[in-house]
Structure 1
Amino acid sequence: MALLVFLLLAFFTGPAQFESSSTVRLVGGPHRCEGRVEVQQNGEWGTVCDDGWGMEDVAVVCRELNCGEAKWTPSGTLYTPSTDKDQKVFLQEVICQGHELNLSQCDQVEVFDCTHDEDAGAQCEKPSLTVRLAGGPHRCEGRVEVQQNGEWHTMCHAGWGMEEAAVVCRELNCGEAKGTPRGTAYEPSTGTDQKVLMQEVICQGHELNLTACEPVDIFDCFHNEGAGVQCEKPSLTVRLAGGPHRCEGRVEVQQNGEWHTMCHAGWGMEEAAVVCRELNCGEAKGTPRGTAYEPSTGTDQKVLMQEVICQGHELNLTACEPVDIFDCFHNEGAGVQCEMLENVRLVGGPRRCKGRVEVKHQGKWGTVCKAGWNLSAVKVVCRQLGCGKALLTKRCCSTTQGQGPIWLSEVSCSGRELSLQRCSSGILGKNNCTHDDDMCVECEDPFDLRLVGGDTNCSGRLEVLHKGEWGSVCDDGWGEEEDRTVCKQLGCGESLFPSAKIQKFGRGVGRIWLDDVRCSGKEKSLEQCQHRFWGHHDCNHKEDVAVICSEP
């Protein structure tokens, strides 16, 4: 019977359309782009029956609400709170082609036998808002603008408070919210053709971004009612990554524990000068592309800012003016080349791994001041010079003090750097030191090994060099991993067989340097394997290790 009535109505009345003044909303869902479909007519909200409701109809609703793609056609009964029993069901069936701009353009059949158990629902993509603060003195203060479909819209000040400001500041990595000024306070003002996207957005203050807040659409807000936000001005930690030393490389800035690249657009010697000054790296020498430095940035690393504008006199990059643009990629990253130490050496000592520390800068050798200098820095120098372990550091005596410039002071190393150039320091040549503060260091002589007594360099009795003297190695605990480590270090082939007890190469004389050597097989040098202290053993030369490797 119901079907007959429907057919008769459709035949005699035909499809009608909504009143042009009707509007649509989705209620009861987790966000404004999902929920039970309701339409407004003559100031009253009512539901839509799910007869014939399909993805074409949902697509139109999603388009009208600026909600992205249609995802699903759920039942409206899934969403709470449920409809009031007195609320009307306005529409029996909606007939859309899917291309309409809004639901009022679709045909419809007026209701005659539908109940709220048949309410229609819609699920659209949750809207994602790109947010910026425009017209302010820096990127963390200004008029609130959000981007959708490639266009920037202002947001209404109605209901805007510190909770909403806190969310914007968090999303932009801008620190704490400081205030909510009117958007009209910032110049240049918005154009008359710029749209107001939302009148009001309701946040609790804990959301990670504005998309997670609840927007409320109202249609009587103008640009003179726009919202503004004032956050803490961001403080940027800067580094140069991927270069040959700490004063050259790809520009990266840190915020909230993450490193971001910076765009090369507009990057020049003024910006490079500020970075070099902030890193205590001397004069700026060039602005190469960031892609010149390896390893390259990961694809998931963010570009923080496209452009930063400096005058060249600022003390740090935070004091420059950033400009946010959103079409920069990692292959457009900025790089900086600053002046840096050219080399390091030890002079005035009895051997090359002991003496006064000198560094070369601007073609001249100069000394290093005691300020900030410690054993961690000595470890780096010893490693850089190819010497052994760091033994000590002290102020040079009067007979070993240097002359000329004092280049380095306030040196800070972790001890793991590959060169002194990678340690932080004060500005080169800018210090209050005298040559009474010159530093001397002592490293062990470089480790070396050899096989003696054999027919080739790849077989023989094992000897190691320590403190300038060759000595043998005891066979206690020696095995295949140790053999392999020696063969690898000498550039020979594989170890041929366990060879520790071979005596055909004769016994050694003099020092027995190593005992109880234990290698894992991963070491590049025998020195890196575990062993007793140098010279400590319970062996004699009958226990000297011999090794036989294949030829390379």
Structure 2
Amino acid sequence: MALLFLILAVCTGSGLSESPTGVRLVRGPHRCEGRVEIERMGHWGTVCDDGWDMKDVGVLCRELGCGAAKGTPSGYLYKPSAGNEQRVLTQLVNCTGMEKMLSECEQDEDVFDCSHKEDAGASCENPDIPLPPVPESVRLVDGPGRCKGRVEIQYQGKWNTVCKTGWNLKSAKVVCRQLGCGRAINTQKSCDKSTQGKGPIWQSQIACLGQEVVLQDCHSGPWEKNNCTHAEDTWVDCEDPLELKLVGGHSRCSGRLQVLHHGMWGSVCNDGWGEQEDQVVCKQMGCGKSLSPSMKERKIFGPGVGRIWLDDVDCSGNEQSLELCQHRFWGRHDCTHEEDVAVICSD
């Protein structure tokens, strides 16, 4: 997922273009014409042309940075046509024409009676309009910690402040997630004079759906001069990251896992726990890589006492902190302390 934003700058074949929100036109004569494809859960599929019209194409062209809509050609005309391994992912798309992204339009994901002969296509006006620049990194500065502060995004080695115009809680959620902080709790605060930036201001609006892993995956509007000043710099407050410790080992990087919640330390149940969860703990604690101990090795640290805070933790391994992994509601479990998690890291 962290590499998705690189796709925006790379043409992967003749007549193929992608937007930051998982929409592309394929098999056309240039990047702004072709069969419409959308991405869902890591898989690309087509759009049924039932209800597909110029308003829908207009939104798509805007999202791809391709100017105005020209036409609604059949996607079946662009050869080779979609194969059987690709699904028709959506139909009855109904845009008002004012949306910024196709994903904001009404549409039916329960596709029925639609084959690839009915795939939607789109033709846009300007194939030479470049896509807006994609941020390289993000940080929060001038706050009381790394999880609270003024939003700055990096591009070509320079840090830019972000104007509050168009910014919302969904974008703040993505920033907090990317930085390995807790949930976003405030994005309405204004920067005072002591915390306002002094450098360049990012010249496009950023619009996130809230589910993106990194800010680079969010949609960026057209690159154009805005009227913002540093008095309108964006500030975000995230919850501080979950505090962890490993106890009972010979160093701080091995032992029974403890998490701090509501001022109380508690253990984690080993239901579903494995190497990916170990990796997240070791990374968050700055302890190198997981050594993936056996169940017998984990038992040498003994059972804990007190609260059991987490159960059924499920990580991908890419999370920056344990709280970003899926888990049961805090304090709910069906475990005993004989099932406490222990972790052994390399450092």
CA RMSD of aligned residues (A): 4.9
Using a 3 Å threshold, how does the CA distance of structure 1 residues 357 and 520 change in structure 2: closer, same or farther? closer
SS of the residue 2:170 aligns to: helix
SS of the residue 2:310 aligns to: coil
Give the letter aligned to residue 356 of structure 1: R
Paired residue for 2:230, among 430, 435, 442?
A: 435
Give the letter aligned to residue 502 of structure 1: G
SS of the residue 2:213 aligns to: coil
Rounded Cα–Cα distance in structure 2 between residues aligned with 1:244 and 1:361: 13
Paired residue for 1:357, among 104, 126, 151?
A: 151
Paired residue for 1:369, among 146, 158, 163?
A: 163
Rounded Cα–Cα distance in structure 1 between residues aligned with 2:300 and 2:271: 9
Where relative contact order (Cα < 8 A, 6+ residues apart) is larger, the structure is: 2
Structure 2 match to 1:415:
210
Using a 3 Å threshold, how does the CA distance of structure 1 residues 532 and 392 change in structure 2: closer, same or farther? same
Alignment of 1:39-50 (within 5 A): none
What is the deviation of 1:348? 0.8
Using a 3 Å threshold, how does the CA distance of structure 1 residues 279 and 360 change in structure 2: closer, same or farther? farther
Paired residue for 2:200, among 396, 405, 417?
A: 405
Structure 2 match to 1:461:
256
What is the deviation of 1:523? 5.7
Rounded Cα–Cα distance in structure 2 between residues aligned with 1:458 and 1:496: 17
Cα-to-partner distance string for 1:305-357 (whole Å, 9 max, x where unaligned): xxxxxxxxxxx972259xxxxxxxxxxxx9x7763333321111011111001
Rounded Cα–Cα distance in structure 2 between residues aligned with 1:368 and 1:434: 10
What is the deviation of 1:384? 2.3
Give the letter aligned to residue 357 of structure 1: V
Which structure's CA Rg is the greater one? 1
Using a 3 Å threshold, how does the CA distance of structure 1 residues 461 and 363 change in structure 2: closer, same or farther? closer
Give the letter aligned to residue 383 of structure 1: R
What is the deviation of 1:486? 5.2
SS of the residue 2:220 aligns to: coil
Paired residue for 1:530, among 315, 318, 327?
A: 327
CA contact (8 A) 2:315 2:326 kept: no
Rounded Cα–Cα distance in structure 2 between residues aligned with 1:367 and 1:545: 47
What is the deviation of 1:405? 2.8
Using a 3 Å threshold, how does the CA distance of structure 1 residues 410 and 391 change in structure 2: closer, same or farther? same
What is the deviation of 1:462? 1.9
Rounded Cα–Cα distance in structure 2 between residues aligned with 1:301 and 1:259: 18
Using a 3 Å threshold, how does the CA distance of structure 1 residues 466 and 437 change in structure 2: closer, same or farther? farther
Paired residue for 1:348, among 134, 142, 157?
A: 142
Q: TM-score, normalised by structure 1?
A: 0.35
1:473 aligns with 2:266: yes
Gaps of at least 5 residues in structure 2 are 32-60, 66-80, 87-121, 283-289
1:492 aligns with 2:313: no
What is the deviation of 1:543? 6.6
Structure 2 match to 1:380:
174
Cα-to-partner distance string for 1:386-434 (whole Å, 9 max, x where unaligned): 3232222124232322223321453211112232222223333522223
Q: TM-score, normalised by structure 2?
A: 0.52
Rounded Cα–Cα distance in structure 1 between residues aligned with 2:345 and 2:233: 49
Using a 3 Å threshold, how does the CA distance of structure 1 residues 466 and 517 change in structure 2: closer, same or farther? closer
Using a 3 Å threshold, how does the CA distance of structure 1 residues 482 and 473 change in structure 2: closer, same or farther? farther
Cα-to-partner distance string for 1:271-314 (whole Å, 9 max, x where unaligned): xxxxxx95587xxxxxxxxxxxxxxx976799xxxxxxxxxxxx
Cα-to-partner distance string for 1:483-530 (whole Å, 9 max, x where unaligned): 777545441324425859935xx87xxxx8x74522166664753243
CA contact (8 A) 1:249 1:337 kept: no
CA contact (8 A) 2:254 2:345 kept: no
CA contact (8 A) 1:367 1:439 kept: yes
Alignment of 1:11-26 (within 5 A): none
Structure 2 match to 1:502:
302
Rounded Cα–Cα distance in structure 1 between residues aligned with 2:218 and 2:172: 11
Structure 2 match to 1:173:
none
Rounded Cα–Cα distance in structure 1 between residues aligned with 2:63 and 2:24: 19
Rounded Cα–Cα distance in structure 2 between residues aligned with 1:411 and 1:453: 46
1:396 aligns with 2:178: no
Rounded Cα–Cα distance in structure 1 between residues aligned with 2:229 and 2:152: 14
SS of the residue 1:398 aligns to: coil
SS of the residue 1:262 aligns to: coil
Rounded Cα–Cα distance in structure 2 between residues aligned with 1:417 and 1:521: 18
Gaps of at least 5 residues in structure 1 are 1-240, 266-276, 282-296, 303-315, 322-333
Alignment of 1:109-188 (within 5 A): none
Structure 2 match to 1:244:
6
User: What is the count of residue pairs matched by the alignment?
Assistant: 243
Rounded Cα–Cα distance in structure 2 between residues aligned with 1:242 and 1:411: 16
SS of the residue 1:341 aligns to: coil
Using a 3 Å threshold, how does the CA distance of structure 1 residues 429 and 341 change in structure 2: closer, same or farther? farther
Rounded Cα–Cα distance in structure 1 between residues aligned with 2:139 and 2:85: 38
- Give 1 or 2: higher strand fraction: 1
Rounded Cα–Cα distance in structure 2 between residues aligned with 1:522 and 1:397: 35
Structure 2 match to 1:114:
none
Give the letter aligned to residue 519 of structure 1: D
What is the deviation of 1:380? 1.3
Rounded Cα–Cα distance in structure 1 between residues aligned with 2:339 and 2:85: 52
Cα-to-partner distance string for 1:193-215 (whole Å, 9 max, x where unaligned): xxxxxxxxxxxxxxxxxxxxxxx
1:452 aligns with 2:247: yes
1:318 aligns with 2:124: yes
Structure 1 match to 2:100:
none
Rounded Cα–Cα distance in structure 1 between residues aligned with 2:207 and 2:4: 20
Rounded Cα–Cα distance in structure 2 between residues aligned with 1:424 and 1:248: 17
